Chain A
């Protein structure tokens, strides 16, 4: 019984320390590592559910594939590697250590004769003399030599490259050390606590202060890697650790305050630097430190390293003008709000909630389409590596929000603060989309000569105002007809048509007109009718503009291209209004930017262990691969010398060196 278990233990030991086992482990670890690079790790669980479907989602979850590198089975492979390497070291250590020290001086004549690399020479020198010169030669070649006189003969035992063996120890213990260091920084302790029920992941979206103690980690926690977003002027004394489908709150041993966050840009618009001015306070509230951190320039305080990791909006205050798009008047109302907060909106069309999502002070857009690189060989040959793309332009601030109606349905909007130039004219842009995966569809509102959308809004109001329609129609008819046709049947007909066109347009834009033509006009005349209606619409709209100007005490519009375009763009824009999806347009009037800096905070006690291990690994690999271990024996009897040479690894260099030594012996022996 005892012998069975003894021999079983021994075979496990032999298996673990075998080279084949090592190769298998290295390969298995490599293959296992691939999984986590193919499946994106640590995504929100919902994404996986959508991607995989409920069945596979659960299978994958059971296998731990959403966080492969922390699963039990992955850690088991690593543990095997550590165990195998340790066993291997223990097994080889005594031998290797002996070899490093010893000269293997007990070789017999017989065994030397059995060497593959041996060389004999006749000599006239005395054994002592030849031994002396050979020793000098070998020492010159970098060997350590031991001179062992025997009766009537001499044995030289020499060795070089013993550090190769040292390299083996260094490199393989380094593997163990690095794994242990990595483990110290892993979340093993938490995993055990979680298993025993001491700790639990928080999955609810609740304020940090309400997270219960079971999901909080004390400042004394030895190792963590968390992140926190701090708005300018605020501070944080916790960080959040993402675990599986939830998070943990890590209490910090200090409070971090953010004074300012800065982004600098290159002239091309790409970001150049991200910097945060931070202040640290101890838990009593006393300021202990002030520093600026940037990407690649972290701050280390109290064993916690603080990194610049990301940035976001920290709750920019927005002052907005709300325009009721379907109101016949052109007055705006004031709306204020802050990013990450909601504002209630009661409009004529019902109750809405504005959920402010984001604010961006810059938007770098490609205003010229993609620049095609020239396919002309010469232009590249003598060409310039200076970027040609001059179309990148900062188009100014924008803000994003969701507008949620009483039933809970929401659309997402993105509005620019400054006008954009498109086709040579200027517009205010408002984008809308249903889901974050869609692209924004833009409504563009034309600017007037004063650079405002007021003219557009006024004209829009007049065109929607049913009470003004008779007047518009009358003015249009008088303009369109010669004086002798005034007050005739024709004028009445024209007035009727104009009123009808205006009413249809005010109901649903070009779509309504189109539908009307489709329904009422024979197909053959459809196109002609459409042309006529459009013409009427434009001309009546021009009259409407006259009225709008008069109502607001402005001079009548000039009859020029600009006015023409204003009218046409207004009609287009109004038509888009009906599919815009919201009854209000929010124009950004003013903002007071508050930025937030995303910091990463880590404490990793294993780091120095890993670094030290890495140093040993580098040295070890160098010694193993570039220091060749070899031994030489020279047995000299009167009149005869025998050279033998051995090495653990036979390479071409070894063969060359052997030849060299053999020739040297011939020369010396002469």
Chain B
């Protein structure tokens, strides 16, 4: 009478040899970094590094494709770094670096691949071609890999410019836009596999393409890709966790907004036969906002703790802080609306779409139009 029901086995038994290999690689990399660079790290940075080992391992077990991504990015980044032989000049001389895997080249490849992926998602959607949609996913994966390689190599390049200049590439608008594209794409890829529907990629990749457009404009028009040293206010280990947490939040909210657009179209009968059912889109939207909200909550709290250390107060009603609060309240309201019967459906979708404007203003508008402590104008 004992049957083969798919009872979940204990976690550790569910792991394959590849899971273990992955964890071993992560741990080896982590400990190597610690032994090699430990003397330049403060206690918090060591803590973050050590905590990252189990966190990355478990994340890889939880989301299998991440293991491959991690290993590929790690291997190619290392290959690139070795090519440099400690000299920035080789960036212009070595073929691989110049055209493929110097930071700038990889990021430009990322941009191109995201553009192609967007195109492919739309063609796949309109032509109902499963193959094209699969290609689109593959292109998105490659873009993510190239983007991460770009950031890793950029991190290394910053130290080649000067040991006091070197820093993790999450410190200015250019770098965080790359990060935003990558995180949003990864979150989307996760949902894509989870819900087994690729059609919504056409919408989500639009917001990533917009970010890519911004990166390109910013690079060509403003030369924003140049690595600048950190102002003293940003020299803190808090930055390393505050910024990425923030961008998981922004990523989740952006995906939700684009799903909202899809929902509204389906609701009006546009593309309805090609897109998933409204319930599915709604569910995805809820999931993205939920994960976004959790991380945005964490990021705001981390931000407050950092502010307490840098500016002498955990909350100063500085425009950036205040707008973070506004964004947060907005999505708290959204989550509550879902719990009120009768306010489901298009209303929620509209709210999610408008939420993106609020979020974008908090992310970009504040930097552009409002001045405050976050502008680092003084000290």
B235, CB-defined interface residue at 8 Å: yes
Q: Which A residues, 608 to 648, have Cβ-Cβ distances below 8 Å to chain B?
A: 610-611, 614, 617-618, 621-622, 625-626
B322, CB-defined interface residue at 8 Å: yes
Residue on B with the closest CB to A270?
B229
A503, CB-defined interface residue at 8 Å: no
A307, CB-defined interface residue at 8 Å: yes
The CA of A625 and the CA of B298, in the complex, are separated in Å by 14
Q: Name the distance in Å between B75's Cβ and chain A's nearest Cβ.
A: 22
Taking CB atoms, residues of chain B closer than 8 Å to A268 are 228-229
B315, CB-defined interface residue at 8 Å: yes
Q: Mark B222-244, 1 if CB is under 8 A from A, else 0.
A: 11011111011101101000000
The CA of A19 and the CA of B221, in the complex, are separated in Å by 48
Q: Name the distance in Å between A428's Cβ and chain B's nearest Cβ.
A: 29
The answer to whether A664 touches B311, judged by C-beta atoms less than 8 angstroms apart, is no
The CA of A493 and the CA of B236, in the complex, are separated in Å by 78
Taking CB atoms, residues of chain A closer than 8 Å to B108 are 380-381
A400, CB-defined interface residue at 8 Å: no
The answer to whether B333 touches A23, judged by C-beta atoms less than 8 angstroms apart, is yes
B88, CB-defined interface residue at 8 Å: yes
- The listed residue (A69, A140, A377, A385) touching B227 by CB distance below 8 A is A385
Q: Name the distance in Å between B345's Cβ and chain A's nearest Cβ.
A: 14
The answer to whether B322 touches A36, judged by C-beta atoms less than 8 angstroms apart, is yes
Q: Which A residues, 590 to 614, have Cβ-Cβ distances below 8 Å to chain B?
A: 600-602, 604, 607, 610-611, 614
Q: Which of A52-60, A190-198, A294-302, A573-581 contacts B (4 or more CB under 8 A)?
A: A294-302
B82, CB-defined interface residue at 8 Å: no
A26, CB-defined interface residue at 8 Å: yes
Interface size classification for chain B: 35 or more
Q: Name the distance in Å between B287's Cβ and chain A's nearest Cβ.
A: 8
B98, CB-defined interface residue at 8 Å: yes
Taking CB atoms, residues of chain A closer than 8 Å to B102 are 382, 384
Q: Mark B93-121, 1 if CB is under 8 A from A, else 0.
A: 00001110011110010000000000000
The answer to whether A614 touches B165, judged by C-beta atoms less than 8 angstroms apart, is no
Q: Which of B59-67, B257-265, B301-309 contacts A (4 or more CB under 8 A)?
A: B301-309
Taking CB atoms, residues of chain A closer than 8 Å to B291 are 625
- The listed residue (A266, A382, A611, A652) touching B162 by CB distance below 8 A is A266
Q: Which of A148-156, A271-279, A541-549, A550-558 contacts B (4 or more CB under 8 A)?
A: A271-279
The CA of A610 and the CA of B301, in the complex, are separated in Å by 10
The CA of A34 and the CA of B362, in the complex, are separated in Å by 11
A41, CB-defined interface residue at 8 Å: yes
The CA of A129 and the CA of B329, in the complex, are separated in Å by 52
- The listed residue (A295, A600, A604, A614) touching B235 by CB distance below 8 A is A295
Taking CB atoms, residues of chain B closer than 8 Å to A142 are 8
The CA of A109 and the CA of B129, in the complex, are separated in Å by 49
- The listed residue (A36, A129, A305, A602) touching B317 by CB distance below 8 A is A36
The answer to whether A37 touches B313, judged by C-beta atoms less than 8 angstroms apart, is no
The answer to whether B1 touches A40, judged by C-beta atoms less than 8 angstroms apart, is no
The answer to whether B340 touches A19, judged by C-beta atoms less than 8 angstroms apart, is yes
The answer to whether A382 touches B99, judged by C-beta atoms less than 8 angstroms apart, is yes
B326, CB-defined interface residue at 8 Å: yes
- The listed residue (B225, B294, B313) touching A225 by CB distance below 8 A is B313
The answer to whether B290 touches A307, judged by C-beta atoms less than 8 angstroms apart, is no
A34-B326, A604-B314 in contact; A626/B319 too (CB < 8 A)? no
The answer to whether B228 touches A309, judged by C-beta atoms less than 8 angstroms apart, is no
Taking CB atoms, residues of chain B closer than 8 Å to A386 are 88, 157, 161, 226-227
A129-B1, A270-B228, A385-B227 in contact; A373/B297 too (CB < 8 A)? no
The answer to whether A273 touches B294, judged by C-beta atoms less than 8 angstroms apart, is no
Q: Which A residues, 228 to 267, have Cβ-Cβ distances below 8 Å to chain B?
A: 266-267
Residues of A within 8 Å of B, CB-based: how many? 80
The answer to whether B336 touches A266, judged by C-beta atoms less than 8 angstroms apart, is no
The CA of A266 and the CA of B335, in the complex, are separated in Å by 47
Taking CB atoms, residues of chain A closer than 8 Å to B97 are 382
The answer to whether A381 touches B235, judged by C-beta atoms less than 8 angstroms apart, is no
The answer to whether A26 touches B336, judged by C-beta atoms less than 8 angstroms apart, is yes
Q: Name the distance in Å between B166's Cβ and chain A's nearest Cβ.
A: 12
The answer to whether A380 touches B225, judged by C-beta atoms less than 8 angstroms apart, is yes
Scoring A267, A270, A384, A626 by chain B CB atoms within 10 A of each residue's CB, the highest score goes to A384
Taking CB atoms, residues of chain A closer than 8 Å to B8 are 140-142
Q: Mark A657-670, 1 if CB is under 8 A from B, else 0.
A: 00010001001100
The answer to whether A296 touches B326, judged by C-beta atoms less than 8 angstroms apart, is no
The CA of A296 and the CA of B340, in the complex, are separated in Å by 44
The CA of A189 and the CA of B273, in the complex, are separated in Å by 63
Q: Which of B16-24, B206-214, B278-286 contacts A (4 or more CB under 8 A)?
A: B278-286
- The listed residue (B219, B294, B379) touching A622 by CB distance below 8 A is B294
Q: Name the distance in Å between A120's Cβ and chain B's nearest Cβ.
A: 19
The CA of A26 and the CA of B329, in the complex, are separated in Å by 6
Q: Mark A125-165, 1 if CB is under 8 A from B, else 0.
A: 10001000100010011100000000000000000000000
Q: Mark B318-344, 1 if CB is under 8 A from A, else 0.
A: 010011011001101101110110000
A182, CB-defined interface residue at 8 Å: yes
Residue on A with the closest CB to B379?
A310
The answer to whether B308 touches A387, judged by C-beta atoms less than 8 angstroms apart, is no
Residue on B with the closest CB to A372?
B223
Taking CB atoms, residues of chain A closer than 8 Å to B154 are 385
Q: Which A residues, 288 to 323, have Cβ-Cβ distances below 8 Å to chain B?
A: 294-298, 305, 307, 309-311
A29, CB-defined interface residue at 8 Å: yes
The answer to whether A137 touches B7, judged by C-beta atoms less than 8 angstroms apart, is yes
The answer to whether A273 touches B322, judged by C-beta atoms less than 8 angstroms apart, is no
Residue on A with the closest CB to B315?
A182
The answer to whether B297 touches A621, judged by C-beta atoms less than 8 angstroms apart, is yes
B293, CB-defined interface residue at 8 Å: yes
Residue on A with the closest CB to B153?
A385
A37-B322, A272-B229, A295-B232 in contact; A307/B330 too (CB < 8 A)? no
- The listed residue (B294, B313, B336) touching A23 by CB distance below 8 A is B336
A383, CB-defined interface residue at 8 Å: yes
The CA of A267 and the CA of B164, in the complex, are separated in Å by 10
The answer to whether B323 touches A298, judged by C-beta atoms less than 8 angstroms apart, is no
A29-B329, A133-B1, A373-B223 in contact; A272/B311 too (CB < 8 A)? no
- The listed residue (A600, A621, A667) touching B294 by CB distance below 8 A is A621
B368, CB-defined interface residue at 8 Å: no
The CA of A618 and the CA of B317, in the complex, are separated in Å by 21
A388, CB-defined interface residue at 8 Å: yes
Residue on B with the closest CB to A26?
B333
The answer to whether B283 touches A296, judged by C-beta atoms less than 8 angstroms apart, is no
A94, CB-defined interface residue at 8 Å: no
B378, CB-defined interface residue at 8 Å: yes
- The listed residue (B103, B286, B308) touching A607 by CB distance below 8 A is B308
The answer to whether B319 touches A37, judged by C-beta atoms less than 8 angstroms apart, is yes
Taking CB atoms, residues of chain A closer than 8 Å to B333 are 22-23, 26-27, 30
A382-B98, A385-B226, A617-B301 in contact; A23/B379 too (CB < 8 A)? no
14 interchain pairs, CB-CB under 8 A: A30-B333, A137-B5, A225-B313, A268-B228, A296-B232, A298-B309, A373-B223, A380-B219, A382-B91, A382-B105, A385-B157, A387-B228, A388-B223, A600-B312
Q: A37-B370, A296-B232, A384-B102 are in contact. List 7 more A-B contacts (CB 8 A).
A: A40-B371, A140-B8, A266-B164, A296-B309, A310-B379, A618-B294, A668-B3
Interface residues of B (CB under 8 A from A): 1-3, 5-8, 88, 91-92, 97-99, 102-105, 108, 154, 157, 161-162, 164-165, 219-223, 225-229, 231-233, 235-236, 238, 279-280, 283, 286, 290-291, 293-294, 297-298, 301, 304-305, 308-315, 317, 319, 322-323, 325-326, 329-330, 332-333, 335-337, 339-340, 366, 370-371, 378-379
Chain A to chain B: the 8 pairs with minimum beta-carbon distance, closest first: A373-B223, A600-B312, A382-B98, A307-B312, A295-B232, A37-B319, A26-B333, A625-B290
